[in-house]
């Protein structure tokens, strides 16, 4: 049984790199110039119009390969109505102001990407499903449409109500749209339109959009430390928050880290051990006494991690599932990492507190924050 059982999900097919960058910095000029909110780091240009020779996918029903779950029974030979449901990750705003995925079970429908955006609208169908302390992100009355390009860019076209938001929510809205749409395996980047017109910047506070936004632009940026933009790379780390109901859930936080080479797994693990910012309201069970004893070893999609005994609980060769979950979610954000395995002082046969053998490869769940933490 893998960690996805703990989180209520299924194994995820390996997606393209989802390394994340800064989403909240003070100057939009600085953001645009560094490529932190206008596209990939090596792309700072902006498009005024969509290319005329771009082909579109006529229907956006195939942006996901998930299967709907059926609810219903058959009694005494008579067919009883069956309701098709499907789980979607809807990125909402929590009580601390973080943009967080909540996996909601919604009716299966054609136009899956469009439907996902409709569940971001205040006063829309999401209202009956909102977890306590969470709120929708798009202004009430906003209507949406989508077109998927063959290159994996999806165009999200909003009605004029889209501009009726508070300036403080602007980056959260952009992050929410981007991460909600890029949950689908063949969506890589998001372009924004209003009434069919391309938007180079967001309507209210003029956050740069450029030729599109991807997960490389980050989510919930931690700006508590001054960093060298040129010599650091963005990484998404997963910490824990408690809901208003007392139920824990995972929050993705983007930090910029100094890296030794293109991929530095040890730097990512050590950043996770260092924990969230002091006043973030987030928690982390990886204490600063926990240490990697050797460089993580990557082979065929699996990342092997060897820690000291401080990673163990009081029950012998047992690791807290919250520690395992944070490691799995964080490290599988890195390109090519599909599973992780944990040893202590080079020895295996370690169990998580839910009974998972964590010395064997543990996969990322398909869905996060399902309400069954």
Distance of CA 340 to the CA centre of its chain: 18
pLDDT by 10s per residue, the chain, length 373 = 333 333 333 333 333 333 333 333 333 333 333 333 333 444 333 333 333 333 333 334 446 434 333 333 343 444 434 468 999 999 999 999 999 999 999 999 888 999 999 999 999 999 999 999 999 999 999 999 999 999 999 999 999 999 999 999 999 999 999 999 999 999 999 999 999 999 999 999 999 999 999 998 999 999 887 677 778 888 999 999 987 777 789 999 999 988 766 779 999 999 999 999 988 999 999 999 999 999 999 999 999 999 999 999 877 899 999 999 999 999 999 989 999 999 999 999 999 999 999 999 999 988 888 864 4
Give the per-residue pLDDT at 110: 84
| CB-CB neighbours of 32 under 10 Å | 21
* 29 to 20, 210, 222, 234: CA distances (angstroms): 19, 12, 19, 19
Give the per-residue pLDDT at 127: 96
Give the per-residue pLDDT at 258: 85
CA-based Rg of the chain, rounded to a whole angstrom?
Answer: 21
Q: How far apart are CA 248 and CA 263, in angstroms?
A: 30
CA angle 163, 169, 173 (to 5 degrees): 70
303 within 8 A of 338, measured Cβ to Cβ: no
Reported as half-sphere exposure (CB side, CA atoms, 13 A), residue 192 has a value of 27
The string of DSSP codes covering 126-144 is GGGTPPTT-B--BPTT--E
Give the per-residue pLDDT at 233: 87
Give the per-residue pLDDT at 261: 67
Give the per-residue pLDDT at 63: 61
pTM comes to 0.77
Give the per-residue pLDDT at 223: 82
Give the per-residue pLDDT at 282: 95
Give the per-residue pLDDT at 371: 61
Q: How far apart are CA 44 and CA 219, in angstroms?
A: 19
């Amino acid at each position: 049984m893998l960690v996805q059982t703990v989180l209520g999900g299924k194994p995820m097919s390996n997606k393209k790199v989802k390394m994340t960058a800064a989403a909240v910095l003070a100057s939009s000029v600085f953001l645009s110039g560094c490529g932190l909110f206008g596209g990939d780091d090596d792309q700072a240009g902006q498009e005024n119009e969509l290319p005329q020779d771009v082909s579109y996918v006529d229907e956006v029903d195939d942006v996901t390969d998930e299967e709907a779950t059926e609810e219903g029974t058959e009694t005494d030979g008579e067919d009883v109505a069956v309701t098709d449901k499907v789980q979607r990750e809807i990125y909402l705003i929590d009580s601390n102001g973080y943009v967080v995925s909540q996996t909601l079970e919604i009716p299966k429908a054609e136009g899956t990407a469009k439907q996902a955006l409709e569940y971001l609208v205040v006063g829309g169908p999401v209202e009956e499903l909102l977890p306590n302390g969470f709120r929708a992100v798009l202004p009430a009355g906003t209507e949406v449409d989508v077109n998927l390009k063959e290159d994996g860019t999806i165009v999200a076209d909003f009605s004029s109500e889209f501009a009726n938001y508070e300036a403080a929510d602007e980056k959260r809205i952009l992050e929410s749209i981007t991460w909600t749409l890029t949950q689908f395996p063949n969506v890589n980047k998001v372009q924004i339109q209003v009434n069919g017109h391309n938007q180079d910047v967001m309507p209210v506070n003029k956050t740069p959009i450029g030729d599109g936004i991807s997960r490389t632009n980050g989510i919930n940026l931690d700006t508590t430390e001054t960093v060298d933009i040129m010599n650091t790379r963005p990484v998404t780390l997963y910490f824990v928050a408690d809901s208003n109901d007392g139920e824990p859930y995972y929050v993705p936080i983007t930090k910029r880290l100094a890296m030794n080479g293109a991929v530095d797994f040890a730097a990512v693990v050590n950043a996770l051990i260092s924990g969230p910012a002091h006043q973030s309201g987030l928690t982390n069970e990886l204490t600063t006494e926990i240490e990697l004893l050797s460089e993580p070893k990557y082979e065929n999609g699996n990342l092997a991690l060897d820690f000291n005994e401080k990673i163990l609980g009081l029950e012998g060769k047992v690791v807290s599932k919250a520690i395992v979950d944070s490691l799995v979610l964080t490290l599988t954000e890195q390109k090519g990492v599909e599973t992780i395995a944990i040893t202590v002082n080079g020895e295996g046969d370690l169990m998580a507190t839910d009974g998972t053998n964590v010395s064997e490869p543990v996969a990322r769940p398909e869905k996060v924050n399902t309400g069954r933490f």
